[in-house]
Structure 1
């Protein structure tokens, strides 16, 4: 499977990109607004200073006079430590101030105008206002200009821009952290669905019924449809196996009967040996067909497992009683040491598991021996131990014997299909239990334990 970046990572990166763009945009906007606010503040102070000076203009003896008010320059010094320049012109004659200060733009009488330029190696901002003063019999236009360098404005703008940059960086990191949390929370329903599916057993194909966001509804519907198709496919396969096993057993029984009749009628030893081999092959085929049917039944019922209250000792006793005729044909006796053990489960499946274990014990035990059944209660579980006096489970690993069609290396001459322990293990696993395999302590025979939780 080719893996790419997770949806959570992609969503986090996308939101981080959006946060970065917003951070840069906010920094630019704050910087621009700060520059405009600082410039507007300077313009307002310059205009107020120029207007204050213009209001002191007066006429004495036919000449224009003025007194520079201290407050006009105090206002400019209050906002920054920039240099201040001024000039007052009456009829093209400089009354006071800096002679070389740039001339202001023309303006209407009483209107404040602003200019930006260079003066004495520095950028300045200048405001000018023109008023008419009656000097004798004439009206004289007097222009008052006040200028200030822009270092303070630039410093204020720079400080605000730096602060805005730090806040934007902090906002970016906070936004990335919140984006990661938001991505994780947004994907939580998907993770819950994945966890719900992963907790299911390999044969649990029931529809997934859980609340999901509208965006995940199509995925959930598609998943349920897929599981339904798989369930129907498996069901058809199981039905086919069951039908095939059922149909095979009837003609096999007929073949075995005819072979036994022929065995009694022929006298040639070679013919008898060939008939015995046919009977053994038919027995093996019939046994395999029966266990395939049991396995199909187990696979079918595990999907909808019954949880009835049962007594493990009663199940073991009934199954042993049903197999007593088979055991008697080989002079094998059952010894029972059964203690009541309340459990919950499917009686049909548990009977199949016990029957397969007992059938193995009968098949692999020598004639005229015993098979013991014992129930031991251990904490919160019941253990049904089945011991025989056969050849044991061999020297290889025990866990592989529960795989389908796997048999021990010491039973090559005995008819078997390798499904008995597989069926028992699957049944116990479906009930929350387990199958334990070991050789008996004395080295003779096998000890198979069916472990189930008590109620």
Structure 2
């Protein structure tokens, strides 16, 4: 835009200066021609005589195809030339040519008039010599100058644009290198930027590094807070529940025992909701800094089953492990995968009736599929595609404590590892089957 404005300004200035120079040249030639004619005037007695010099008019005729007109006026009439050629409105001063532009015989002309005294003494009189020339040559010169100026202006614009693009590219190259160095990083890479940048960009690089350092410290503090909060919340609630159970066994009145059972249920709901909300927050943070550790899924599943085995035993639920004998290699974040499996197995235990079975199965094909199949209530008539949404539960489990976050946690963990969560009704009978499908390494 700036180059275009400068090019237009350059064109206007060059054309204006060139036209003024061409007009000034024509004026000088006209003035010289009129002066040459005036110098040829002489007095013979009372008569004014003129031997018209050929060179006076030929110097105008050789410059272009313009027509030339002249008039010598003695005061009493025209001595020679074109009678209808207009005289100047005011008589010029001696030695000072007067210029004018007007239309004559259908063409614009440029005219000059000079005054020359002829005679001696009191008989001397002023003779007006007027010479005019059409402006066709001037217009042609103006068009030539305009075309040249346009070409020069266009060339200037192209050169200026090319230089501007080159300068902009050179100026933006360090920024592009810095952008590439940051864009190529993963979401968990908060190391300081060390890309080669000029001194002018060092304040920006320093500010960016300072921001990433503060962000890294903030993320670590948040993760530590979530882990500490989970411990601080679960432990007191577990203690309160244990005391409530003891008190419940000591009460004799039915209404007191009923009130204590409601209290225990509220504690269970609070503990589960708080625990799963903290687990969900932990999943959110860790998926941004997902670890890529090499894991043994067989060992990870076994650890989760052992941890929840006591809970299953309280309901006489048998956890059947249909696992291969050899390790199952996988890559990912062990803490997140453990949280996902624990939530799925905990849901299976919670919604399964007493004296039932839960089958944990691993299938290794193109993908790694970990399925947890129970004999519980299933999902009723709930929309299976919406069960992964936060705080969404089946339509037939209102009497069981739950927060509606278990499947959400499992789904987010699976998607963070490039897999998917599959929810189906148990094809072999009642219950449900939830599967973690992960890419194999």
Confirm whether residue 321 of structure 1 aligns to residue 306 of structure 2: yes
**Pick aligned residue for 1:311 from 262, 281, 296:** 296
SS at match of 1:79: coil
Correspondence list, 1:144-223, <5 A: 145-150=130-135, 153=138, 157=142, 221=207
Cα 1:170–1:342 change in 2 (3 A) is farther
8 A Cα contact 2:352 2:375, kept in partner: yes
SS at match of 1:375: strand
Distance 1:371 1:185 in 2: 66
Q: What is aligned with 1:429? A: 415
Q: What is aligned with 2:357? A: 370
8 A Cα contact 1:43 1:114, kept in partner: no
SS at match of 2:387: helix
Cα 1:262–1:24 change in 2 (3 A) is closer
Q: What is aligned with 1:11? A: none
Distance 2:381 2:164 in 1: 58
Q: What is aligned with 1:417? A: 403
Q: What is aligned with 1:405? A: 391
Confirm whether residue 97 of structure 1 aligns to residue 84 of structure 2: no
Distance 2:36 2:6 in 1: 44
Confirm whether residue 39 of structure 1 aligns to residue 26 of structure 2: no
Distance 1:418 1:70 in 2: 111
Greater CA deviation, 257-266 or 165-174?
165-174
8 A Cα contact 1:249 1:290, kept in partner: yes
Q: What is aligned with 1:388? A: 374
Deviation at 1:357, TM superposition (A): 0.9
Deviation at 1:49, TM superposition (A): 4.7
Distance 1:228 1:397 in 2: 43
Deviation at 1:353, TM superposition (A): 1.1
Q: What is aligned with 2:122? A: none
SS at match of 2:437: strand
Distance 2:171 2:383 in 1: 47
Distance 1:389 1:264 in 2: 31
TM-score normalized by structure 2?
0.69
Cα 1:377–1:79 change in 2 (3 A) is farther
The alignment's C-alpha RMSD in Å is 5.7
Q: What is aligned with 2:271? A: 286
Cα 1:185–1:391 change in 2 (3 A) is farther
SS at match of 2:368: strand
**Gaps in structure 2 of 5+ consecutive residues:** 119-124
Could you list the per-position Cα deviations for residues 151-193 of structure 1 after superposition, in whole angstroms to 9, with x for gaps in the alignment? Answer: 55357647866997999999999999x999x999999979x98
Q: What is aligned with 1:356? A: 343
8 A Cα contact 2:294 2:332, kept in partner: yes
Cα 1:402–1:32 change in 2 (3 A) is same
Deviation at 1:24, TM superposition (A): 6.3
**Gaps in structure 1 of 5+ consecutive residues:** 1-14, 134-139
8 A Cα contact 1:398 1:437, kept in partner: yes
Distance 1:343 1:283 in 2: 34
SS at match of 2:331: strand
Deviation at 1:319, TM superposition (A): 2.0
Could you list the per-position Cα deviations for residues 371-427 of structure 1 after superposition, in whole angstroms to 9, with x for gaps in the alignment? Answer: 223334454x43322222211233222343333333222111222232222222232
Cα 1:41–1:267 change in 2 (3 A) is same
Cα 1:113–1:263 change in 2 (3 A) is closer
Q: May I ask how many residue pairs the two structures share in their alignment? A: 421
Distance 1:227 1:443 in 2: 54
